[in-house]
Amino acid sequence: MSKEVFENLTLLAFILLFTPLVVSIFRLKFLNLTQKRLYLLILATIIIEIISRLLWYKKMNNLPLYHFYAVIEFLLIINIYRAVLSKLFSKTFFIVLGVGFVLFAIINTLFFQNLYTFNSNVTSTLGVLVIFIALSYFYALLKEVKYSALERNPMFWINSGFLIYFSSNLILFYINNSLFKGVTEASHIVWGLHAIVNIVLTIFYTIALWVHPKKL
């Protein structure tokens, strides 16, 4: 993959991220609690991406941002799941999970991967934890006796997007960290695929915010 194609893909992924934001703003008064929590995650992601791009254009290291964002992202994600998985996991479980992840991120930054290094340990752990929670959600769905229209369930789309995104990222990050050092055409392919996965996640976000969940 050429540098030009890679840059166009990452730019497209960034621009499309505003689509679910616009949808959520126009439908804000109709959103349920899960959709509003997703809106906060999207808003945080866009803010970080804007700052990251500004730093990148100024040729400044933007990796410190992602050390903080990984923590914010995880806390916002488990906040989305906290209510929908209340029958499967207690409130204490999510508190311990959140606090444990924050402590792990701090230890990793202080002793293993400093602020100016890509925090692959934290992002990989985040991915594994979200995949576990996402699979737990599908397990909870299978245990439900009542029939529900999944295409109208925002959480179904959010969960599916998370599962695809974080599963793909675990593979992509492993390939990039294990096989490629520095900026090469091969690393452009890996991060170009990452941009495509980002686009897929954005599409799932948009659907999740667009659907009208059935009121119980």
Residues of the chain with confidence (pLDDT) below 70: 1-2, 145-148, 174-187, 214-216
In a domain, 109, yes or no: yes
In a domain, 163, yes or no: yes
For residue 216, the model assigns a pLDDT of 45
**Cα(133)–Cα(25) distance, integer angstroms:** 28
For residue 184, the model assigns a pLDDT of 62
For residue 181, the model assigns a pLDDT of 56
pTM (2 d.p.): 0.92
6 and 176 Cβ atoms separated by less than 8 Å: no
In a domain, 22, yes or no: yes
For residue 107, the model assigns a pLDDT of 98
In a domain, 215, yes or no: no
161 and 201 Cβ atoms separated by less than 8 Å: yes
| Nearest residue to 197 via CA among 13, 4, 7 | 13
Segments forming the whole domain that contains residue 56 = 3-210
In a domain, 216, yes or no: no
- The domain total for the chain is 1
